[in-house]
Structure 1
């Protein structure tokens, strides 16, 4: 299948942005105790450092669906596509609970397992594989239906609710489940809303086969419409996001409140805003081929490789930071604290940006090497899964 430059660029861009969020999450001085979108605590710079990274997950999930459509069109073999989706879906779920979770926490006991974006994509691939015989437009409409309607569902089971009810609720909203001896499984990315985004991306796959000029016009208009609908729903302030905006202590913080949409799970307003931004960027880069787009596409051609490797670069940096700040092995707390002491560790936001820039620069030659390796060794089928 011939690569789509706008998809590679968009994936590369969000991988670069994503690393900023992960460096901040693992290393920022307040990341263990405060939310960067808590308006009673945050600063505008910290807020937008987190907020801009909201673009990453919906973009990657949407384009995973789009790529599945383009792959099916290229193969012209529905059954082969179904088999690939099943294998890749199961593989991504296995990766989430092994390589990814260990890279996030560096906890050999796996005392805190989290279902995040890689597992959500894997789950969505499995469901997409079951639906693959349905016309793509219908699959897309199912996805849109999920995005529009899932905010009607408000699962809030009590602690004493039946286990089956808790499982059902966790398909739509975050949920925690103790397991083993003092261990916890956390559903961070409830799969049904993210499935809606992937199915929408699959249904939109046909539009990525149009001429670049038609894509530019279509995606630009669609992006503006999506963002316009976000503003309309947000102004009405009734439906589409459980976190209503309100007037704050200043005009700037009122704007932050307006933009402070819910990612867990991705609300309708969240999806409209960030998928709209994604469509605008895709429209703007149609037909653009320069040094910048080439560099960004290098990351976008190896996104899963980038995702897996970057954890194993950031986390050793966390330990170096801890020891340089005077802590010892005995001070380290594993599990959801990334190995950091509960208090006293971390770097300021400006240093987070420096570490992020260094990480992105370091990942470039690694991604370039791996991309060339995949090109030279197409006979190695396992490379299709990384």
Structure 2
């Protein structure tokens, strides 16, 4: 898939006008592209009875590896959201930055509740899925309330939430307990009963993710023009290696930070799968150490690669992440509903394909059709700075 010169020019122009950094967009684009694979798996492979794609004892290895790869998506995207908020604040007043974060956060929440929940089912649904877009929106609003505080304080709070939230795991509230709804949104993945027969599923409890966005904001100065590339790369290399070493030590100790791993008799592969099977909902300390550690090293690699075509192509996806997110989910779900209308259910009540290889085939086939509209939108946003609403997509 080649990169049209006009796209590179638009990307460069937008960088000059908005302070966008190409290798940040490239890393964000990489996780967006990985996200497509997971959403295709969720859409076309639902008929396969997989209770947990990370279950070391039962999960198909190919499915497990794909799920492990896409584990990078949410942590990297949310930490980069914090970085982007800091860079935005360097070009705007505190009031303007807060207003933008609140407005963008509300837009994200609205898309999750009023569009994506309905799109997923294709019919009016009594369930509101409070997933990653909702989570990012809440995190942005919380960040807006906190950014007037010293950056060192935000760093400390972020570290506390990321490293210490697993101490709260024993707290499990029931629907009839006081503050159940609040706790379900903060730290306990659960179902909240709402008026008029509606329910909300808190797929992404937000408390540890607030810590992640605060850490991203706190490291924002590392990306300022006055910081030499070599200095930034050494910082991220050191941070990445430190997080991965911390992950390895804590995981080997098999104590704090996630559920224990185990040995699977006569299967070194499944034992290794158990070692890397981590909790995402909400994200455990070990989950975040592994994914953010890898993300820090990927950032170093992408910056060193410079403006190579592959990096520029990823930057196109990462330069318009919400547009790509909404576009690919819409396309994938419409394809699913179309297939269901034509062929009906293949098992129980859902339509699906019978081999995971076809998920990968769909992934390869859909990438170019999704790339070109995203590139068009990137050019549009770069050329129409007079349309303020574009910055919210």
TM-score, normalised by the number of residues in structure 2? 0.90
Equivalent residue number for residue 216 of structure 1: 233
Aligned to 1:360: 367
Q: Give distance in 2, aligned partners of 1:160 and 1:67.
A: 37
Change (3 A) 1:121 1:31: farther
Which of 84, 90, 99 is equivalent to 2:115?
Answer: 99
Map of 1:196 onto structure 2: 211
Once the 2 structures are TM-superposed, how far is the Cα of residue 319 of structure 1 from its aligned partner?
A: 2.5
Mapping for residues 46-65 of structure 1, pairs under 5 Å: 46-65=63-82
Query: 2:11 maps to what in 1?
Result: none
Residue 152 (1) aligns with residue 167 (2): yes
Q: 1:263 aligns with which of 277, 280, 295?
A: 280
Q: Which moved more, 1:151-160 or 1:92-101?
A: 151-160
The separation in 1 between residues aligned to 2:377 and 2:228, in whole angstroms, is 30
Distance 1:140 1:158 in 2: 29
Which residue of the partner structure matches residue 242 of structure 2? 225
Output the CA distance in 1 between the equivalents of 2:286 and 2:256.
9
Match in the other structure for 2:84: 67
1:205, 1:165 → 2: CA distance?
35
Conserved in 2, the CA contact under 8 Å of 1:140 and 1:203? yes
- Cα deviation for residue 259 of structure 1 reads 0.3
Deviations 1:76-100 (A, max 9, x none): x111111111111111111110122
- Superposed, 1:90-129 pairs within 5 Å as 90-107=106-123, 109-129=124-144
| Match of residue 185 from structure 1 | 200
1:54 and 1:166 map into 2 onto residues whose CA distance is 26
| Unaligned 5+ runs, structure 2 | 1-17
Structure 1 residues 158 and 73: alpha-carbon distance in aligned structure 2, compared to 1, 3 A threshold = closer
Question: In the alignment, what sits opposite 1:131?
Answer: 146
1:85 is the counterpart of 2:92: no
2:221 maps to what in 1? Answer: 206
Question: Aligned-pair RMSD on alpha carbons?
Answer: 1.9
**Inter-partner Cα distance in structure 2 for 1:161 and 1:358:** 48
> Residue deviations 1:218-259, cap 9 Å, x none?
111110110110001100111011x21010131111100000
Structure 1 residue corresponding to 2:357, chosen from 346, 350, 355: 350
Distance 1:369 1:345 in 2: 32
Structure 1 residue 23 corresponds to structure 2 residue 40: yes
SS in 1 for 2:128: strand
Distance 1:303 1:160 in 2: 35
Q: Note the C-alpha offset of 1:11.
A: 0.5
Equivalent residue pairs, number? 372
Residue 372 (1) aligns with residue 379 (2):
yes
Q: Distance in 2 between matches of 1:376 and 1:18?
A: 28
Summarize deviations over 1:89-122 as a string: whole Å, max 9, x none: 1111111101222232222x22221111111111
- Unaligned residue ranges in structure 1 (runs of 5+): 333-339
Deviates more, 1:185-194 or 1:97-106: 97-106
User: Residue by residue, what CA displacement relative to the aligned partner does 1:318-339 show, whole Å, maximum 9, x if unpaired?
Assistant: 1343355x32xxx69xxxxxxx
Correspondence list, 1:321-360, <5 A: 321-323=339-341, 326-327=343-344, 341-342=348-349, 345-360=352-367
Work out the CA distance in 2 between the residues paired with 1:92 and 1:160: 27
Compare 208-217 and 49-58 and name the one that shifted more: 208-217
Q: Would you say the 8 A contact 1:111–1:183 is kept in 2?
A: yes
Q: Deviations over 1:113-149 (max 9, x none)?
A: 1111111111111111111111223212211110011
Q: Pick from 298, 311, 330: which aligns with 2:316?
A: 298
